[in-house]
Structure 1
Amino acid sequence: MPIYEYECKACGHRLEKLQKVSATPLTECPDCEKPELARLISAAGFRLAGGGWYETDFKSGDKKNLAGDSDKSAPSKESKATA
């Protein structure tokens, strides 16, 4: 479930709410109790960055590619010898 950020246009109160994507957006401010709450568009709370994290996660055996390999499409000489 995503975390949505809201801001009241009447009093400026800001809050975050964990809601389902299909949930109806909140409208009433919990601080001033006016129906002036608006959902904000905000950046994601995390960023996937860096080289190779996705190549090594959840792989095992001959399928594991390490960041910095010169030729990732061809199997290594060691794996050919053991096969």
Structure 2
Amino acid sequence: MPIYDYQCGSCGHQMEAIQKFSDPVLVDCPTCHAAELKKIISAPGFRLKGAGWYETDFKTGAKKNLAGGDGE
């Protein structure tokens, strides 16, 4: 899920929010309770959710060991 950065136009409070693409944009500031939150431009961020990602997840046969070793 993407992580969005917001800044309040009233008090200047900055925050991050983990939201789905389909979630509505946040507008209420948790600090001053004004409806002044705006999304700000930031570096892309996301969270991988689940058991994990491994180099062997989508490999078959002799391609299983890519990190080193003798391929056993």
TM-score (norm 1): 0.56
The one-character-per-residue Cα deviations of 1:9-47 (angstroms, maximum 9, x if unpaired) are 11100111111110000001111111110011211248x
- Show structure 2 runs of 5+ residues with no match: 47-54, 67-72
* CA RMSD, Structure 1 to Structure 2 (Å): 2.4
Which residue of the partner structure matches residue 2 of structure 1? Answer: 2
TM-score (norm 2): 0.63
4+ residue runs of structure 1 moved beyond 2 angstroms? 57-64
Question: What amino acid sits opposite 2:19 in the alignment?
Answer: Q
**1:29-48 alignment runs, 5 A limit:** 29-45=29-45
Determine what percentage of the aligned residue pairs are the same residue. Answer: 53
Question: Greater helix percent: which structure?
Answer: 1
Give aligned pairs, total.
Answer: 58
- Show structure 1 runs of 5+ residues with no match: 47-56, 67-83
Which residue of the partner structure matches residue 13 of structure 1? Answer: 13
Report how far residue 60 of structure 1 moved.
4.2
